Amino acid sequence: MAPPATTVEQRSIDHIPETERHGSPKSLLFVWFAANTSITAVVTGALFVVLGNTPAWSVPAIVISNVLGGFFTSLHSAQGPRLGVPQMIQSRAQFGYFGATLPLVLALMIFLGFYATGLVLGAQALASLLHISRELGAVLFALMSTVLAIFGYRHIHRFSHLAAVLSGVIVVGLLVRILADPHAGTLFTDTAFAAAPFVLGVSLAASWQLTFGPYIADYSRYLPAETRKSSTIGWTFAGSVTGGSLAMVLGCFAAAMGGAAFADNQVGYLADLGGPFWVLVLLAVLCGKLTGNTLSSYGGYMSVATIVTSLTGQSRITPRHRAVYICLISAAALAIALAASSNFLATFQNFLLFLLYFMTPWSAVNLVDYYWVRRERYEINQLFEPNGTYGRFNTGAIVAYAIGVIIQIPFMNSSLYVGPVANWMGGAEVAWLLGLIVAGGLYYLLSRSVRQHPQEELSAPTTTPLAKETL
């Protein structure tokens, strides 16, 4: 029987037994719609214009990129009900018990990065709403995210329903407000097409979706094991793609019409667009960003917990340690946010591209292993055994991942480095696609022995590897 809704979540990185499974996959629509209609997604959409795309060509690029990225990301969602463990701990099956530390550290960087950028934008909203400094706004917003993450899974799902509805109404309302403006016609007068900015924009928005990969199964792992795969994937895809597309289109239109006013204060510009409903706009920004920040805090905690338990051999994570880990994640993200550069859009662009280079090969290895190598069959107990079936290190996965990253270098296009092929292509960005194909294909070839001797069926632990937390 599922625990009462009023309690703090008691599970952490351990397997969720069938007696505690609950919920409907429809809830995933709200979680991922809320996370994708955040102000950070709006800023990502603005980058299309900043990079040199016209609004007329930004819209199809945004939809294409969200569909592409959302398709691969949503495939991770089916792993939650089937395996009943967090997303990143599954990496032990591919990389080995200790080898999984590499993608876990990278995932932790994702959680911290998105959390920090969310605090910057959330602070703008709180500062405008409460007439306080942005620094104090960031502190308060970090506290809100920390508390919700400590309460955990069920409360995150419940809050996302409110955030999704409010964000959806406000985003659609602001789009109508922009399109009803007398100057809105100028958005579509320039139909010139520039290939390099178009491809780079697609990569940026696809990276937005793909970098949710380390989060996805965390929020479906309590669903009953018999939950249909198509429902879990479908609701996740619908929420992610619809939410991301709407928010990014709003961002590209706002950047095109607002120019420097939007670039200097994204939240303030949107609040002004809301007119008499400016308070609702700020509340929508806060709710959407609070959802995203909580996902980052929650996922960051589980990444740290997985790393710590693998290095120390702990058999239990106490409620106190759980709260401490979440507080540490929030403190680190807050420190980054307070030290953030004023040139936020450029900094965020570089951050997204950096994540894209390193996380798409991980996603490829994880998905190929789940769907084509082990065909959804895992020994869950062995994920918690350093000398178990999956070994300490899996050389094949590490090699496939490393080559998937290295193959991208000539095609990279960032402020830190522009590869020769990317330069020859006029700045077009296709490195992520190569990383996805090469890492996944190579891992499949290097996993021949596993494919020839598949496990007969998934085996869930009879007792949880980590003792159940007590309040």
Q: For the residues 351-355, what does the mean pLDDT come to? A: 74
Residue 7's pLDDT band, with cuts at 50, 70 and 90, is: confident
Q: Which CATH architecture does the domain made up of 29-350 adopt?
A: Orthogonal Bundle (1.10)
Determine the distance from the C-alpha atom of residue 17 to the mean position of all C-alpha atoms in its chain, rounded to a whole number: 26
Which residue in the block uniquely carries the two structure tokens 């625990």? Answer: 3
- Residue-wise DSSP of 203-261: HHHHHHHHTTTTTGGGGTTTS-TTS-HHHHHHHHHHHHHHHHHHHHHHHHHHHHHHTHH
Question: Smallest Cα–Cα separation from 323: which of 157, 159, 143?
Answer: 143
The CA distance from 450 to 441, in Å, is 15
Strand partners, 379: 459
44 in Cβ contact with 248 (< 8 Å): yes
The domain ranges of the chain are 29-350
Supply the pLDDT for residue 464.
45
- 333 or 343, greater pLDDT: 333
469 in Cβ contact with 317 (< 8 Å): yes
For the stretch 203-228, pLDDT in tens is: 888 888 988 999 899 999 999 999 99
- In this predicted structure, the answer to whether residue 230 has a pLDDT above a threshold of 50 is yes
87: its two tokens: 């997303």
For the stretch 385-415, pLDDT in tens is: 999 999 999 999 999 999 999 999 999 887 7
pTM: 0.91
Question: Smallest Cα–Cα separation from 260: which of 250, 269, 272, 251?
Answer: 269
Supply the pLDDT for residue 292.
93
